[in-house]
Structure 1
Amino acid sequence: MMTSLAGVSEAAGTTYQIVIEQMRFNPPVLTVHRGDRVVWVNKDLFPHTATGISKAFDSHAISPNASWSYVARKTGSYPYLCTLHTTMRGTLIVQ
């Protein structure tokens, strides 16, 4: 599922992008505010996931050239990984 970043209003929060490429999340650590949207965009040649270690979120498989979005609702630090490639790790910080 592709997610469009066009038409995002300030009242709905800010939209941030994490690019999945070369077996990495970029940026590896992202700080956002409650109500902000985070979009993971897979630019690799194979599927990846963005899965919170605490189970706070789970994208399931994001196909190549596809994206998945999540709206941050609760403050905290959320380490996550790709369940298909467990050396791929990142952290989402929600303020």
Structure 2
Amino acid sequence: MAMSRAGVSEAAGTTYQIVIEQMRFNPPVLTVHRGDRVVWVNKDMFPHTATGMSKAFDSREIAPNASWSYVARQTGSYPYMCTLHATMRGTLIVQ
């Protein structure tokens, strides 16, 4: 019996990495597509957050040597910051 392809989700998206190091998000601006996964990796010696200013996402505290991932579902431009260090800012663009 043949299986229907209806309802099958799109192929898994690409995974991108943002490194948190020296009090910065690197890269500071990242463009991805819907369905892509973004992983923030904290290489600093203290916790950080990746918190969307529009509340689209919130990592809560990412411990040193830990990571947090988010799958982009909605298109748009999402400025974000570290709520523990307000000068740390980045932008996630979802196409």
The verdict on a shared fold, with TM-score over 0.5 as the criterion, is yes
Partner of 2:23: 23
Within-5 A mapping of 1:27-66 = 27-66=27-66
TM-fit CA distance, 1:61: 0.1
TM-fit CA distance, 1:11: 1.8
TM-fit CA distance, 1:58: 0.0
Q: Give the secondary-structure state (helix, strand or coil) at the position aligned to 1:86.
A: strand
What is the rounded CA distance, in whole Å, between the counterparts of 1:70 and 1:86 in structure 2? 21
Q: Give the secondary-structure state (helix, strand or coil) at the position aligned to 2:11.
A: helix
- AA aligned to 1:71 is V
What is the rounded CA distance, in whole Å, between the counterparts of 2:53 and 2:11 in structure 1? 30
Within-5 A mapping of 1:7-18 = 11-18=11-18
CA RMSD of aligned residues (A): 1.0
- Identity between Structure 1 and Structure 2 (%): 91
What is the rounded CA distance, in whole Å, between the counterparts of 1:22 and 1:14 in structure 2? 26
What is the rounded CA distance, in whole Å, between the counterparts of 1:11 and 1:68 in structure 2? 22
Task: Tell me which stretches of 4 or more aligned residues in structure 1 moved more than 4 Å.
Answer: none
What TM-score does the superposition give when structure 1 sets the normalisation length?
A: 0.89
What is the rounded CA distance, in whole Å, between the counterparts of 1:57 and 1:12 in structure 2? 20
TM-fit CA distance, 1:15: 0.1
TM-fit CA distance, 1:82: 0.0
Report whether the alignment pairs 1:80 with 2:80. Answer: yes
TM-fit CA distance, 1:33: 0.1
Partner of 2:93: 93
What is the rounded CA distance, in whole Å, between the counterparts of 1:39 and 1:11 in structure 2? 18
Max Rg structure: 2
What is the rounded CA distance, in whole Å, between the counterparts of 1:12 and 1:63 in structure 2? 27
